[in-house]
Structure 1
Amino acid sequence: MRRVYAILVALCLAAAGGLATAGPAQAAAQTITNGTQFTDTSGNVVHAHGGGVIKVGSYYYWFGEHRNADNTFQYVDAYRSTDLKNWEFRNHVLSQSSSSELASANIERPKVMYNASTGKFVMWMHKENGTDYSEARAAVAVSNTVDGTYSYQGSFRPLGQYMSRDITVFVDTDGTGYMASAARENYDLQIYRLTADYTGIEGLVADPWHGGHREAPALFKRGNVYFMLTSAATGWNANQQQYATATNIAGPWTAMTNVGDSTAYGSQTAYVLPVQGTSGTSYLYMGDRWGNSFGGTVNDSRYVWLPLTFPTTTTMSMSWYPEITVDTAAGTIAGTSATYETLTAHHSGKCADVPSQSLLAGVALSQYTCNGGNNQKFWFKSVGSGSYQLMGRGSSLCVQENATNVTQENCNGSATTQQWSVTTSGSYVLLKSRASGECLDVSGASTANSAAMITYTCNGGTNQQWTRGT
């Protein structure tokens, strides 16, 4: 019966694309840079924060938050792609004008699922009143097409009693739909079984981490094992992600286990996407690096996408890569390993530094006491012809020469102001800008903390001599 259901779902999804048309037969492998804002095929910033993905036919559809400048709800946006890099904007599928209830609201973490029985696409989301987080409600919207306009059905507390905040959905291999959300001021994380049409809640399935204070759930299945990936509840600030497993969605579930580093590489779980192809199925961690955590807004947020690996059937690991290569046709995801290095000035013994560990573009670099921080580590990424981009470990931005200073900016592979040659000068190296031919320099040969980094005519001075260290 499960095999029959799977075949029916595949046939229905192929026919239910709505605005979608048949995509190319095979997408080429694509390299995606981590810790950056993505842009769509029209060059606009992709706003799919806190989002989720559903595959329909040849296309992956990515839904997420697009907010107003004050962080309140503006739209749920939908994008589509065959290769997970080139995203085409499709529609504001839900907006403030969709319902009077949404006119001054917060809508977070929208996730879409397809119901093979009704032929409907069903969106679940976390709904608040736009002023505070006192409502803690789940909300539902439906559409006949994946990227059409969704009809808002209203909001409620699950089973009329439980708070519902960060939210995710999951369709099991037998077609049963589930929703998981943070409850009781985020101290509980509960799993609910949905009604047959996926628009309501039939019952509470599990409350396995009572008092665990977890949020940002992502529920997926690999083989016969269910995985729940979550973050701690620390607002916009990144923290240690943890996961648990079970062989029955109702439990027993294991205790939570750490995965990744102590901040999930500066991100928070949004979704885990299975990418299935001719070589098997890989699992993509999709995380948000929230703009609010580094002085911006939700719309300034960046994306961290990493391959999940599975040492055993019930264990999971995640490592940092500045870039990943995704081949959706093969179903493979590979990370680009990088060696990060410090740059220590000969004259001062101090390191090239991004002040205050800022993640913002336009911030001017200076020298500072070496401390091992990610804001003092750079990847020398070859761009050919003996030139390198210097990509920051903390910000994923590139070191750029300007007329009066040196800043970190969004990486641009064709900008010669971001390309540097490396030449040896005794026991040290000189870093020469391809654009001007000038050398990376500590202004005035100052030995003080926060002295500006600039470019200046190469002169052999010790303030232009650098030691590369790992």
Structure 2
Amino acid sequence: MRRAYAVLLALCLAVAGALATAGPAQAAPQTVTTGTQFTDSAGNPVHAHGGGVLKVGSYYYWFGEHRNTDNTFRYVDAYRSTDLRNWEFRNHVLTQSSASELATANIERPKVMYNASTGKFVMWMHKENGTDYSEARAAVAVSDTVDGNYTWQGSFRPLGQHMSRDITVFVDTDGAGYMISAARENYDLQIYRLTADYTGIASLVADPWHGGHREAPALFKRNGVYFMLTSGATGWNPNQQQYATATNIAGPWTAMTNVGDSTAYGSQTAYVLPVQVGSGTSYLYLGDRWGNSFGGTVNDSRYVWLPLTFPTSTSMSMSWSPEVTVDTATGSVSGTSATYNTLIARHSGRCVDVTSQSQWQGAQLKQYDCNGGGNQKYWFKSVGSGSYQLMTRHSSLCVQENANTVTQENCDAAAAGQQWSLTTTGSYVNVVSRATGECLDVNSASTANSAAVITYTCNGGTNQQWTRGT
């Protein structure tokens, strides 16, 4: 008996040892909802705004801004994931106490790169004094481990003279490191080669778009072609993103070309992540929908992740998808195709509308003149058994029945108050709540703009009959 026990114990220890050294299990495909505020494994908001992602081993590490309520610097946070959907908080890798000049500061767009020669992880970022944007400095911090405490190396203007605001970094296939930053009050976008240890500026390589007024750079390389993706400089408000290409990082670069819609789907470029497995690589756009653009703070910001596609070797395309499926085991990134409909009340001819195009949870639905806005468009997403969630196009929140109101809330497929069925009455439909069996209704059959949309006992009234428009 003792011998059998000893053999069993040895076998268990061997299996445990193998599991301990095997690393994380291969990730399954995951679906990410576009335009939402992510949460980590503990249920807390992911604060990785203006950030970037670095893959180390089987993990993707996501670094970004975590600010105080007045928008000044609090932390650079680090999270990790194997599947790009489930994020584990790792550390406040840079804090206000990391250096005296960080006690009151703005730290924006932190990006981390790994130097294979030194074995160090190097963070570059944009640094300001916390009061205004007069410093326009780049800054550097280093760490021996990817999610350890980063040691502040100081802030400066590149080559002692150039302003430096929005930045990104890039490691080329030959190991050379580059930093790209907006200069001259954001009218220039400059490419710098870094020193061998990536902690300093070696030279100015190019200033290809002099006077272009571009910011939010993201640089990546695909099949020998460099792509530079940027936004216009319009503060927190989204605008038309553009890109340029080159076959040499020093140029010549092409002129900027539009990509996506006129607001980058309500976002600004943060980073482009290559999702690579073997010879298969997909490219994922990571954008910020800044909270400041809809009445909040940076910490209220949402994330817009979308697949990038490449019609030719030197052209790029980006289209809206309400959900993105990422498979880090195969390197596949794909968007969900969705049809959006308006809901037009039969009695009034007006559309179900999210008040004031609000991005916030709890915003009430009312009827308003149909105008084609994203706050009047809904994706009827099937959740099975003939039920649908109604996901709003502009906010990616879901229509929810409450006791006295109908609002938009964070989507929860298990919430009965977010599940609706459709019954047909001639050429019209009734939208029926699974939770109560009541019908979507315009209060008191009002024909006026801003009349509340509620649920009420189904009664055949024309204020409960809807046309699904396009």
TM norm structure 2? 0.95
Q: How does 1:11-410 map to 2 (within 5 A)?
A: 23-278=23-278, 280-410=280-410
Q: Report how far residue 355 of structure 1 moved.
A: 1.4
Q: Which moved more, 1:281-290 or 1:23-32?
A: 23-32
CA deviation profile, 1:20-79 (whole Å, cap 9, x unmatched): 986324110000000000001111110000000000000000000000011000000000
**Cα separation, 1, equivalents of 2:25 and 2:217:** 33
Amino acid at match of 1:170: F
Partners of 2:152 and 2:242 in 1: CA distance: 33
Instruction: Give the conservation status (yes or no) of the 8 Å contact 1:23–1:59.
Output: no
Paired with 2:279 and 2:461, the residues of 1 have a C-alpha distance of 55
1:95 to partner: Cα distance: 0.4
The one-letter code of the counterpart of 1:373 is G
Cα distance per residue 1:109-145 (max 9 Å; x no partner): 0000000111100000000011011100000000000
In structure 2, the residue corresponding to 1:463 is in which secondary structure?
Answer: helix
Q: CA deviation at 1:279?
A: 6.3
User: Structure 2: which 5+ runs fail to align?
Assistant: 1-19
The alpha-carbon deviation at position 427 of structure 1 amounts to 1.2
Q: Return the alpha-carbon distance in structure 2 between the equivalents of residues 348 and 193 of structure 1.
A: 62
Measured after TM superposition, the shift of residue 249 of structure 1 is 0.2
SS at match of 1:131: coil
Say which one has the larger Rg.
2
Could you say which residue in structure 2 is the equivalent of 1:15? none
Q: Which residue of 2 aligns with 1:3?
A: none
The answer to whether the Cα contact below 8 Å between 1:218 and 1:228 also exists between their aligned partners in 2 is: yes
Equivalent residue letter for 1:261: D
Query: Do the aligned residues in 2 keep the contact of 1:23 with 1:82 (CA within 8 Å)?
Result: no
Task: For 1:307 and 1:364, locate their aligned partners in 2 and report how far apart those are by CA, in whole Å.
Answer: 31
Cα shift at 1:343: 0.1
Q: Structure 2 vs 1, CA of residues 50 and 22 (structure 1 numbering), >3 Å: closer, same or farther?
A: farther
Give the aligned partner of residue 6 of structure 1: none
Mapped partners of 1:165, 1:361: distance in 2: 33
Give the residue type in structure 2 aligned to 1:27: A
Counterpart-to-counterpart distance in 1, 2:69 and 2:23:
35
1:106–1:236: structure 2 CA closer, same or farther, 3 Å change rule?
A: same
Q: Any conservation in 2 of the 1:388–1:420 contact (CA below 8 Å)?
A: yes
Alpha-carbon shift at residue 174 of structure 1 (Å): 0.4
Tell me the distance in 1 between the aligned counterparts of 2:232 and 2:355.
27
Q: Deviations along 1:270-323, whole A, 9 cap, x unmatched?
A: 000000125600000000000000011000000000110001100000000000
Aligned position for 1:420 = 420
May I ask how many residue pairs the two structures share in their alignment?
Answer: 451
Counterpart of 1:216 in structure 2: which amino acid?
A
1:462 corresponding residue in structure 2: 462
1:75-105 CA-to-partner distances (Å, cap 9, x unmatched) read: 0000000000000000000000101100000
How far apart in 2 are the matches of 1:190 and 1:413?
Answer: 46
Distance apart, 1:344 and its partner CA: 0.2
**Mapped contact 1:279–1:330 kept (Cα < 8 A):** no
What is the alpha-carbon distance in structure 2 between the residues aligned to residue 132 and residue 95 of structure 1? 20
Contact 1:216 1:230 (C-alpha < 8 Å) held by counterparts = yes
The letter of the residue matching 1:350 is: R
Indicate the SS of the match to 2:441: strand
Distance in 2, Cα, partners of 1:365 & 1:67: 31
Take 1:21 and 1:51, find their aligned partners in 2: how far apart are those partners? 30
Question: Within 1, Cα distance between the matches of 2:279 and 2:381?
Answer: 29
Q: Percent identity?
A: 84
The AA in structure 1 aligned to 2:321 is: Y
- What is the deviation of 1:378? 0.3
CA RMSD across the alignment: 1.0
Query: For structure 1, which runs of at least 5 residues remain unmatched after alignment?
Result: 1-19
Structure 1 residues 377-415: Cα deviation after superposition (integer angstroms, max 9, x where no partner) = 000000001100000000100000000110001111110
Distance 2:419 2:202 in 1: 58
Distance in 1 between the 2:22 and 2:169 partners?
26
CA distance in 2, matches of 1:75, 1:443: 47
2:432 match: 432
Distance 2:91 2:242 in 1: 34
2:77 aligned partner, one-letter code: D
